[in-house]
Amino acid sequence: MATLKTGAVLYLSPLNKSQFISQCLQLGMLLEVSAKKPGNVNLLSGFEGTNFEHFLASSVACFPSFVKAASQGISVKEGNLSIEKVGMGKIIQNCIGEINAWQKGGNTLLGSVVLCVPIAVAAGMTQLEENFDLIQLRLNLKKIVESTTSEDAIYLYETINDVKPGGLNRAPDLDLNSPDSKKRLIRENISLYEVFKIAADYDSICFEWVNNYPITLDVAYPFLKEQMQTRDLNTSIVHTYLRLLSAYPDTLISRKVGEKISKEISSEANRLLLLGGLDTEVGRKGLIKFDRKLRENGNKLNPGTTADLISATLGFFVLAGYRP
């Protein structure tokens, strides 16, 4: 990648910048699935029909869509595109289409893509110096999600209906399974941001969108950064995963088996973190048992939403300058 540095500012062509942003987010996804987190797909353990290779292929498949998202952000920054015309819903739909074309393992990265596409747009809107300024990037992230449209919502509804992710129960309003929902989105001009506000109470990904990514940026990111000062990458990721799971009951588990069991899983994650996690023998033995428990009964206790949050966190970490 050809670059020109003048002072503290790193200048990239729009194409190179958008490719760079895409590579950062892809690396975050690859690092997430590579870590040996209990209950998730990783190098050593998979699910029936879905394994590590499916996630690798899915991460690679995201490249053109993340480039497109970042390019749209650059166009907004340069005044060549209205922020309402970014089209995040269509970008997400195209990204999932690419993922499905590249692998046969089913739904792998829907949650991660929904989190990372806005990050790519916001990064495109943000000045790149030595690394991205996460404070400015976060301000742009707020602008972009609040500027979504009813068309964005329709595209995401279509995408979710095609993918059919696990644990989708009936929503209190604008239910995905209701034939009238898409008509209402257009008729009442309801944006994707407004849809996510409805779902924020029972879905952590929607919660992140409407609250400016507080789980990833206020909790996971500083915790991961602290862990990395004295631990290797795998241990740091696993401990950050336990930190999030202990504080935020996984909403995929809640939708599949109920909030009570989800909270029990969170309590167990907290106990293991207090025991030292991968730093201690008792913690390591506990994590092996925890992993087995989460994989019972067809992986119904898979903390998939927590994995998506870790993926976004690692994307921010790489954008801010981390390199393995």
Greater pLDDT, 98 or 48:
98
| In a domain? residue 3 | no
| In a domain? residue 117 | yes
| In a domain? residue 324 | no
pLDDT band of residue 298 (cuts 50, 70, 90) is confident
pLDDT tens-place string over residues 109-127 = 999 999 999 999 999 999 9
Q: Please state the domain count of the chain.
A: 1
Range of the domain at 46: 9-319
| In a domain? residue 165 | yes
Determine the pLDDT at residue 61.
98
pLDDT exceeds cutoff 90 at 31: yes
Mean pLDDT of 28-48: 93
CATH of the domain at 233: 1.10.4200.10
pLDDT exceeds cutoff 70 at 10: no
HEC states along the chain?
CCCEEECCEEECCHHHHHHHHHHHHHHHHHHHHHCCCCCCCCCCCCECCECHHHHHHHHHHCHHHHHHHHHHHHHHHCCCCCHHHCCHHHHHHHHHHHHHHHCCCCCCCHHHHHHHHHHHHHHHCCCECCCECHHHHHHHHHHHHHCCCHHHHHHHHHHHHHHCCCCCCCCCCCCCCCCCHHHHHHHCCCCHHHHHHHHCCCCHHHHHHHCCCHHHHHHHHHHHHHHCCCCCHHHHHHHHHHHHHHHCCCHHHHHHHCHHHHHHHHHHHHHHHHCCHHHCHHHHHHHHHHHHHHCHHHHCCCCHHHHHHHHHHHHHHHHCCCCC
Determine the pLDDT at residue 48.
85
pLDDT tens-place string over residues 170-204 = 556 667 777 777 788 888 998 999 999 999 999 99
pLDDT exceeds cutoff 90 at 302: yes
pLDDT tens-place string over residues 137-151 = 999 999 999 999 999
| In a domain? residue 1 | no
| In a domain? residue 47 | yes
Determine the pLDDT at residue 9.
43
pLDDT band of residue 297 (cuts 50, 70, 90) is confident
Q: Which two tokens stand for residue 131?
A: 């690394």
Hey, how many other C-beta atoms are within 10 angstroms of the C-beta on 94?
Answer: 18
pLDDT exceeds cutoff 90 at 11: no
| In a domain? residue 4 | no
pLDDT tens-place string over residues 242-278 = 999 999 999 999 999 999 999 999 999 999 999 999 9
- What is the share, in percent, of the chain residues with pLDDT greater than 70? 93
Question: What is this structure's pTM?
Answer: 0.93
| In a domain? residue 2 | no
